[in-house]
Amino acid sequence: MQTFLALVVGLVLVSAGLWDAFETVVLPRRVSRRVRIATLFYQLTWRPYAAVASHVRDETRRENYLSFYGPLSLILLVGVWAVVLVLGFAVLQWAAGPGLSVPDGQADFGIEVYFSGTSFFTLGLGDVIPHTGLTRALTVVEAGTGFGFLALVIGYLPIVYQMFARRETNVSLLDQRAGSPPSAAELLRRNVDQGDVTTLIQLLRDWEVWVADLLESHLSYPTLAYFRSQHENQSWGRARHPPGRLHLRRWPPCRRGPDQRFRREAARASHRATRSGGGPPPARDRHRTWIGRDSPG
């Protein structure tokens, strides 16, 4: 009975680690399931981290402190996956029975974890040797899993930073289009020339494409929400709002012409901005999660 339970626990740990890594790294769509390793990790780490940041009064120091969370959490999450997989294979090795040869006696669970770690990271030290067919098969499977896992992570990191750079490029462009920090009033002042809204219409079309790309990238890779913008008074969270808020202003009714196209493009930009998040979390949650200029909700 004890062996059967160990087998079940080991399979659950290995399956949970691999499936969560697959959903986070490979699967290009939003995952609605709440019980996930990545979800639990961010719930347990972000709020304490943000609570510490809320006590830092200097804005520059607070922003520098918060900017470490995104990259650091990504590295720690990879470490959590690795620990779960190593423990899972160690439990499977233990369930397989006494199948390891050690130079100084019988292997205990600590030796199983050690051997699992050396196999997962393909170290091949040779001080602990499997001597049964089942333990050798598990060793080969774990070594292959570890090699593929590390290759997957190496390919994942450049994608995240590429999407981050693409997001920040348009945020930087907004500085000259809508001021710093950006506002809808400044966007109108700089892009409407004596009632001509042609330039503004083109800007709204470009911004609709950017917000759609923002929506898709942050749904596919939610970790990007924790990567903060690099410059002062510039934020990907605020950048969604100025074009989308133009529809809130009152414009004279018009059935055709540039004004009608402007109203249509402003409404579409507003719709995209709303789907991408639209603003900070509800008031009851702001004191817990919304820290600084572009923190996730």
How many independent structural domains does the chain possess?
A: 2
Backbone angles phi, psi at 226, to 5 degrees: -95, 0
| pLDDT at residue 262, as a whole number | 46
Structure tokens of 96? 């397989």
Query: Do residue 147 and residue 6 come from a single domain?
Result: yes
Both tokens of 66, joined, read 């918060």
Do residues 147 and 177 both lie within one domain?
Answer: no
Any residues with CB less than 8 A from the CB of 185 and at least 6 apart, and which?
A: none
Q: Which of 131, 153, 175 is the last residue of a domain?
A: 153
Residue 81 lies in a domain: yes
Q: CATH code at 78?
A: 1.10.287.70
C-beta separation of 131 from 101 below 8 A = yes
Residue 111 shares a structural domain with residue 198: no
281 domain residue, yes or no: yes
- pLDDT tens-digit profile of 261-278? 545 555 555 555 455 444
In a domain, residue 296? The reply is no
Q: Which residue range forms the structural domain that includes residue 218?
A: 157-289
Name the amino acid, one letter, at 286: R
**Whole-number Cα distances in Å, 19 to 12, 22, 84, 137:** 10, 5, 12, 21
Helical (H) or strand (E) element with 101: strand 100-101
Q: pLDDT tens digits, residue range 8-36?
A: 999 999 999 999 998 888 887 777 777 88
User: Is the separation of the CB atoms in 236 and 292 below 8 Å?
Assistant: no
Low-confidence stretches of the chain (pLDDT < 50) are 247-258, 262, 273, 276-293, 297
Residue 295 domain flag: no
Where do we find the tokens 């939610």?
222
pLDDT for residue 51: 93
In contact, 61 and 17? CB cutoff 8 Å? no
CA dihedral 271, 276, 278, 279 (to 10 degrees): -170
